[in-house]
Amino acid sequence: MQSFRTELENPLVEKDIVDLERKIRLFREGKIHEEKFRSLRLARGVYGQRQQGVQMVRIKLPYGKMTFNQWKRIADISDEYSTGNLHLTTRQDIQIHFVSLDRTPELWAKLEQDDITLREACGNTVRNVTASPTAGIDPQEPFDVTPYADATFRYFLRNPICQEMGRKFKISFSSSDADTALSYMHDLGFVPKIKDGQRGFKVLVGGGLGAQPALAHLYHEFLPVDQLIPTVEAVLRIFDRHGERNSRHKARLKFLIAKIGFDEFKRLVTEEWTALKSKTYTIEAPVEAALEVPTGSLAYATDEVYNQWLKSNVFPQKQSGYYGVFVRVPLGNIHSETSRSLIGQIEPYVANDVRVSINQGLLFRFVKAEDLPRVYEILAAHELAQPGANSTANITACPGTDTCNLAISDSTSISLELEKVIGQEFPDLIFNNDILIKISGCMNACGQHSMAQIGLHGSSMKAPDKRVLPALQVLLGGGTLGDGSGRVADKVIKIPSKRGPQALRWILNDYEQNANDGEYFNDYYDRQGEKYFYGILKPLTDLSTVVDSDFVDWGQTESFATEIGVGECASVIIDLVATLLFETEEKFDWAEQALKEGRYADSIYYSYSVFVSGAKALLLDKSVSVSTQHAVIKEFDKQFVESGEFSFAGQTFTERVLQINQQEPSPEFAERFLGEALDFLQRAKAFREEAVAAKA
């Protein structure tokens, strides 16, 4: 695998890939613990599948943008290393499946030749920074948020403050008050504002979906754009230090805020300001180039399907004379051959800036009115001209039991069945953008079911004869309200999966027959109430009438069983304390290197990590387990300093370590803190060696 290393121009990227290859080898040799290796590979976009021995690789596309060359590169990679399928996700990434772990470094290296990264696409990191796909062309936007989303992505990629957090962290940028990037369900969400002629953002913090969805808190009504990066950094530092690390189910930012209170959270963030690398951070927003206004105008034709497509999938951009075209991609799956053929034909008519949308589709930009018929013909020839790209008819679904370890029941085949119900019985819903249907294979909400007007997630039920059958939890009433506000759907009832189409049919029929003229679905739901819809669907829960086919999930041929996929296993016993100390040495090396390169803030944070990692190792050797970095620091004082086993020149361990948020990131402090970290590392290693010798 030597050849791919010399083709990369970026030494940081090359180091990353070589390190991944080395860690895979050490894992295979049983020298890295399985849990640690999982964390490492996830932070490099490599995710275990339900099927043993293969991986899902998540390709990180900031704000969903890709050029034609990047799209073609991903298609070629999928052919060479995967199945040829490209799966577009609700977080504007692209996933490919069934990849051999040992080939992932080579795959990554080839992607990087077109500036495509896997880094931090999964794991306890800052995940893909998402944004409204219409950013830059949205007629309602105060300004283009693309440069700010891009700067956020780049600033925190490989940033030491967010490499090993207790849990993932999600950031979104909406283009306008319509909030199409769903700021209210993110750890940090930004909605653009203009105040006194200046650019800024409304800031939402602490939102999230999953099994326990929570709406975000209003953090700032108006944050000037030069405070964007410092604010994100301060929040991340607090999340890293105080966030839960033992229980994954309680490890998101929303749980930290609930635990300590919103006022205390804000106080901690403010307290962190002294230690920030930059107190202000200027992001250059390029001046929009003047465009020649096309002469054509939007024209309907005699072809009714074309007119439906034009009405539902096409919209005028803020740039006069140009149009955006949404492409409906069934289940977010598009084949590599289709991709290459589409690129070759569509390229003359659209901008070299394709966006993946959060409903698993595509957006083509800067299409001239006179080119719309040709664009439609090309899409139709590739079976991608279905109308209703952002409507009820276009159901969002995660991969579910097709590939995911955590999925309980199917979410993809059932989506196709529900789309048939809409297409055959409610065809006008291709023009309805008020009712969105979203499905997840489990309660974790990768399909974003808990913020849909009609949401479903995979589950199971037990029949009277004790057999288990696949089920769907039905949720109603979620959605986006705009300007940073949203609604979480109510869990209404659980039904057998095979009765999902009937449930949808009854819900939509009731709405059509009983809603007032112009009454939105959620307004109707609120008027009738949860118990009303429970009553409508209750007959579907009668398990005395189940038949054998009810025990076979959608898209399957064998009886249903609740299973969790198997990940990699090193099948060896590892000394966890030794592993942690090894990692501590590695962090010191990073701190030393950063100091030599003049990256003082990075060096300081790595030195801080030396203290925390080393302390955690020694606490583990005493069988003491704590759930946050802050608790590690406090507990080390209790277990080692108060007992006299460690001393720090009249300081407590807490006082020494937490200098990090009390000092400016100066070269003098960085050098001193590194020296103190080295002293602690050497003493920790010696202490461990003596402990091992005493036990021998």
- Residue 480 located in a structural domain: yes
Torsion, Cα 657 662 668 670, to 10 degrees, reads 40
Helix ranges (DSSP H) in 140-281: 146-156, 228-242, 253-260, 262-271
On whether both 250 and 330 belong to a single domain, the answer is no
What pLDDT does residue 43 have? 84
What pLDDT does residue 696 have? 65
What pLDDT does residue 189 have? 98
On whether both 621 and 513 belong to a single domain, the answer is no
User: What CA–CA distance (Å, rounded) separates 594 from 571?
Assistant: 36
150-154-158 Cα angle (round to 5): 155
What pLDDT does residue 559 have? 85
- Residue 581 located in a structural domain: yes
The two tokens of residue 90 are 């609700």
The two tokens of residue 395 are 């159901």
| β-strands 130-131, 171-173 pairing | parallel
Write down which residue in 112, 145, 174 finishes a domain.
112
User: Residues 338, 78: contact at Cβ < 8 Å?
Assistant: no
> Phi and psi at residue 294, in whole multiples of 5°?
-65, 155
On whether both 55 and 146 belong to a single domain, the answer is no
Write down which residue in 536, 551, 566 finishes a domain.
551
On whether both 687 and 545 belong to a single domain, the answer is no
Contacts of 133 (CB under 8 A, 6+ apart): 63, 64, 92, 180, 355, 356, 357, 358, 363
On whether both 480 and 348 belong to a single domain, the answer is no
Q: What CATH number is given to the structural domain containing 363?
A: 3.90.480.10
On whether both 187 and 252 belong to a single domain, the answer is yes
Mean pLDDT by 10-residue block, N- to C-terminus, for the chain (696 residues)?
55 86 87 78 84 89 98 97 95 95 92 94 94 98 97 96 93 98 97 97 95 94 98 98 89 96 97 94 85 80 91 96 96 96 97 96 97 97 96 90 78 92 95 94 87 94 91 96 96 95 97 96 97 97 92 87 46 59 90 96 96 94 90 96 94 96 95 97 93 79
Q: What CATH number is given to the structural domain containing 584?
A: 1.20.120.330
On whether both 402 and 547 belong to a single domain, the answer is yes
What pLDDT does residue 8 have? 66
Residue 474 structural domain: 396-551
What is the SS3 assignment for 126? strand
What pLDDT does residue 14 have? 86
Write down which residue in 518, 536, 551 finishes a domain.
551
- Residue 363 located in a structural domain: yes
- Residue 118 located in a structural domain: no
Gyration radius from the chain CA atoms = 26
- Residue 364 located in a structural domain: yes
- Residue 291 located in a structural domain: no
H or E element: which one contains 475?
strand 468-476
The number of domains in the chain is 5
What pLDDT does residue 570 have? 29
What pLDDT does residue 301 have? 80
User: What CA–CA distance (Å, rounded) separates 188 from 185?
Assistant: 8
- Residue 119 located in a structural domain: no
What pLDDT does residue 516 have? 96
User: What CA–CA distance (Å, rounded) separates 251 from 124?
Assistant: 10
On whether both 175 and 269 belong to a single domain, the answer is yes
Q: What CATH number is given to the structural domain containing 16?
A: 3.90.480.20
| β-strands 362-368, 354-356 pairing | antiparallel
Contacts of 182 (CB under 8 A, 6+ apart): 172, 174, 189, 358, 448, 451, 480, 486
Amino acid residing at 523: D
- Residue 346 located in a structural domain: yes
On whether both 406 and 545 belong to a single domain, the answer is yes
On whether both 408 and 372 belong to a single domain, the answer is no
- DSSP character for 158? T
What pLDDT does residue 19 have? 85
On whether both 464 and 401 belong to a single domain, the answer is yes
Helix-helix angle 253-260:228-242, to 10 degrees: 70
On whether both 333 and 262 belong to a single domain, the answer is no
Q: What CATH number is given to the structural domain containing 473?
A: 3.30.413.10
